[in-house]
C-alpha cells in the first residue's frame, strides 16, 4: 500500500451519514409536528431515550479511548491505521463508533418526543453499511492481511 493512499478513502466523514438524515427528520418535525410521542408514554420514552443516549456516548467514548490507548487514528477514512484494535468494545463489534452513533440517533428523538428522524434512520445505517464500512474493511484487509481476516471471523461487524 503506497504511503500517499494509506487510508480507507471514505469521502464523507461517517458521522455526517447519521447527522444529515437526523437533521432532515428534525426539519420535517418542524414542518409537520403532529408526530409527537403520546403523552401517556412520554415519561418512560424519555427515560429510555436518555439511556440510549448515555449508552451511545459510552460506547463511542470507549471506542475512541481504546484507539487512543493503542495510538492509532479514529479517522481511518483519512489517516493511516497503525494497528488492528481488538480490545475494549472492539471485542464485541468491529464498529462500536457507528453503533454508538446509531444509539444516539435512536435516543435523542425518543427523549425529545419526536418521531420523524426514525423514518430516516434506515438510510443512515444503510449508507454506513454499504458506503463506509466496506471501504474501511478493504483498506484494513489490504494493510493487515491475515491478521484482519482472522479478526473478522472472531468479531461481528455490527452486533
Dump pLDDT digits (tens) for 91-148. 999 999 999 999 999 999 999 988 899 999 999 999 999 999 999 999 999 999 999 9
Q: Is there a domain that residue 21 lies in?
A: yes
Contacts of 50 (CB under 8 A, 6+ apart): 107, 111
Residues spanned by the domain of 102: 14-27+41-154
Cell, residue 86: 481488538
Q: Is there a domain that residue 53 lies in?
A: yes
Predicted local confidence at residue 2, as pLDDT: 46
Is the dihedral angle over the CA atoms 34, 36, 41, 42 positive or is it negative? negative
Q: Is there a domain that residue 3 lies in?
A: no
Amino acid at each position: 500500500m503506497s504511503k500517499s493512499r494509506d487510508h480507507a478513502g471514505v469521502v464523507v466523514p461517517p458521522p455526517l451519514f447519521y447527522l444529515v438524515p437526523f437533521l432532515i427528520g428534525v426539519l420535517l418535525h418542524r414542518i409537520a409536528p403532529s408526530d409527537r410521542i403520546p403523552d401517556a408514554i412520554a415519561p418512560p420514552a424519555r427515560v429510555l431515550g436518555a439511556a440510549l443516549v448515555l449508552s451511545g456516548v459510552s460506547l463511542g467514548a470507549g471506542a475512541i479511548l481504546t484507539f487512543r490507548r493503542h495510538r492509532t487514528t479514529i479517522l481511518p477514512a483519512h489517516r493511516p491505521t497503525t494497528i488492528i484494535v481488538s480490545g475494549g468494545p472492539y471485542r464485541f463489534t468491529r464498529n462500536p463508533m457507528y453503533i454508538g452513533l446509531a444509539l444516539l440517533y435512536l435516543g435523542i428523538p425518543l427523549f425529545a418526543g419526536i418521531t420523524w428522524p426514525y423514518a430516516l434512520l434506515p438510510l443512515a445505517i444503510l449508507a454506513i453499511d454499504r458506503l463506509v464500512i466496506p471501504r474501511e474493511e478493504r483498506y484494513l484487509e489490504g494493510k493487515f492481511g491475515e491478521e484482519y481476516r482472522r479478526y473478522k471471523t472472531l468479531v461481528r461487524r455490527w452486533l
